[in-house]
Every structure is written in structure tokens, then in C-alpha cells.
């Protein structure tokens, strides 16, 4: 169900069987695939794709050009800047899928970050711009680089 206060741009494409909460704003050219559940007070700027069965909490925002692969979860009050990709296909030759984990609450993800398949980012952590994350990032830490490495605690 799409809440009556949600704002869906006329150029966004929302598949059937999607839940979108109150005051959530879906910008132009965003695609939300079937089975996705998006909470309230979220904002997706433009050209984002939220794939099948993704679950996103309340108050989470995404800049333009973010792609969230199927079955991933993202928590509450997380801010994702432009160009983030959450991947689920480690091997491009056989196309096999690895289970997608996700992102916690109050996370801040800088521009153009890629989260590799099966890894997760803990609550209150920060990922610097242009990082490739290919390990689990615990709660309350700042990581950056390619591959991303621990920088310091997020106190
Ligand atoms: C990771 C981050 C939060 C760290 O910020 P900070 O604590 O102020 O760290 P500093 O800027 O003091 O940087 C410390 C060192 O790490 C390096 N560094 C910081 N972020 C980096 C990144 N994303 N990639 C590579 N190196 C980075 C700096 O060059 C500096 O190196 P030096 O000590 O050799 O000079 C920040 O650099 C970042 O990436 N912010 C996201 C910006 C962004 O994406 N904005 C989106 C909207 S425009």
C-alpha cells in the first residue's frame, strides 16, 4: 500500500505489491520493484532503483543514482549520498547470487560507495566517499578506501 501522504513523482515507476509509508518522497526516474517495503519520512532524490523485497526503515534518505539489490535491508535514519550501489552478484560469469545483508540505523554513506555482496554496515558507522566495502563494518566506526579499512571510532 502506498500511504496517501507519500509523494511519488509522476516520472517514478512503482511496481505492484509495494509498501511506501507516510511522507515518503520518491523522486523522478526512481524504480521501486515488487515486494519492496519503504518506511515513513524517507526521501529518494532521483534515478534510484530499489529492487525486489528490499526493506527500508523510517527516515532514510538516498541521493541520486543509488541501486539497492534485491532482498537487502536498510535501517532507520540512514543517509546515503549519491551513487551508492549495494551489490548481490559476486561472480559476473555464472551470475550466482550471494545473500545480501544490509545496512543498519544512523549510518552515513559518502558518495559513490559500493557494498560488495554478503557484507553489512553496522549502526552509527560512516563510510567515506568512493569506498569499496568488502568486509563487515561493525557499529560505531568510520571506514574508507578501496578496499575500505578502519579509520577511527565514530564517537
Ligand atoms: C571518511 C570521512 C568522513 C573522514 O573525514 P575526517 O574525519 O574529517 O577525515 P580527514 O578529512 O581529516 O581525512 C583524514 C585522512 O584520510 C584521507 N581520507 C579521508 N576520506 C577519504 C576517502 N573517502 N578516501 C580516501 N582517503 C580519504 C584524507 O585524505 C586524510 O589523509 P592524510 O592524513 O594522508 O591527509 C570523509 O573524508 C569522507 O569521505 N566524507 C564523505 C564525503 C561525501 O561523500 N560527501 C557526499 C556529499 S558531497
For residue 80, what is the enclosing H or E element? strand 79-80
Ligand 1, from 62, 127, 129, 150: best to mutate by most atoms within 8 Å of Cβ? 129
How far apart CA 82 and CA 144 sit, in angstroms, is 16
Ligand 1 neighbourhood includes 63 CB (under 6 angstroms): no
Q: What Å distances lie between residue 46 and 68, 92, 100, 138, 143, CA to CA?
A: 13, 27, 23, 29, 26
Give me ligand 1 centre to Cα 147, in Å.
14
- Percent of the chain beyond pLDDT 70? 100
Please report the pLDDT score of residue 113 as a whole number.
Answer: 98
Ligand 1 closest atom vs CA 81: 46
90-126: pLDDT as tens digits: 777 777 777 777 999 999 999 999 999 989 999 999 9
Q: Which domains, and CATH codes, for the chain?
A: 1-88+100-155 (2.160.10.10)
Ligand 1 neighbourhood includes 150 CB (under 6 angstroms): no
Residue 4: pLDDT band (50, 70, 90) is very high
- Its pTM stands at 0.96
Amino acid at each position: 500500500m502506498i500511504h496517501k501522504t507519500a509523494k511519488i513523482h509522476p516520472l517514478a515507476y512503482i511496481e505492484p505489491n509495494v509498501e511506501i509509508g507516510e511522507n515518503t518522497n520518491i523522486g523522478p526516474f526512481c524504480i521501486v520493484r515488487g515486494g519492496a517495503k519503504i518506511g515513513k519520512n524517507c526521501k529518494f532524490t532521483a534515478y534510484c532503483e530499489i529492487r525486489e523485497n528490499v526493506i527500508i526503515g523510517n527516515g532514510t534518505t538516498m541521493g541520486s543514482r543509488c541501486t539497492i539489490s534485491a532482498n537487502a535491508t536498510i535501517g532507520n535514519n540512514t543517509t546515503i549520498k549519491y551513487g551508492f550501489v549495494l551489490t548481490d552478484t559476486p561472480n559476473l560469469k555464472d551470475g550466482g547470487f550471494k545473500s545480501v545483508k544490509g545496512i543498519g540505523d544512523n549510518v552515513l554513506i559518502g558518495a559513490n560507495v559500493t557494498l560488495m555482496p554478503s557484507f553489512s554496515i553496522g549502526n552509527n558507522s560512516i563510510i567515506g566517499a568512493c569506498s569499496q566495502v568488502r568486509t563487515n563494518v561493525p557499529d560505531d566506526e568510520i571506514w574508507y578506501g578501496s578496499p575500505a579499512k578502519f579509520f577511527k571510532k565514530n564517537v
